[in-house]
Amino acid sequence: MSIMVYVTRKADPLEDGGPDISEVEWKSAVESDPDLSISAPRDEPGFPKQGKYAVWKSYAGGYPVWFTLLDGNIEVDTPDAPILKKLAAYAQRLSARVVSETGELFDSEGKSRGFEQRGT
């Protein structure tokens, strides 16, 4: 089972509207990170064409990790602890927060802070 985790400024990353992370901000953050580089994945299912991508090729997990800027959020599919820590660093730099699609919040170290209450 996969779960999406977002760096976002929005109240809910799954909803339209709210303050976006811009492509200029995204590229500036990636360019200042020696682990990531702007890249485009091969034309494969699961990679939206409208996304802006960066890849962590030296990730210790042994596979490249794709970070996607899409709809004003940075997203990663099923991150582990080192990836969550990287997302937390981006959130701090971009004045944003880290939250999963299920509402789980993460602190500045990428550790769970529990779940937020969402409107019904």
Q: In the numeric block, which tokens belong to residue 11?
A: 């109240």
Residue corresponding to tokens 């599919």: 77
- Residue spans of the domains in the chain: they are 4-114
Q: Quote the pLDDT of residue 44.
A: 66
Instruction: Provide block-wise average pLDDT over 10 residues at a time, the chain (120 residues).
Output: 93 92 96 93 70 91 92 96 96 97 94 80
Task: Let me know: does 112 contact 105? Beta carbons within 8 Å.
Answer: yes
Please give the model's pTM, rounded to 2 decimal places: 0.90
The amino acid sitting at 1 is M
The H-assigned helical ranges of 1-102 are: 23-31, 81-93
Confidence (pLDDT) at 49: 74
Q: Please report the pLDDT score of residue 114 as a whole number.
A: 92
The pLDDT assigned to 116 comes to 83
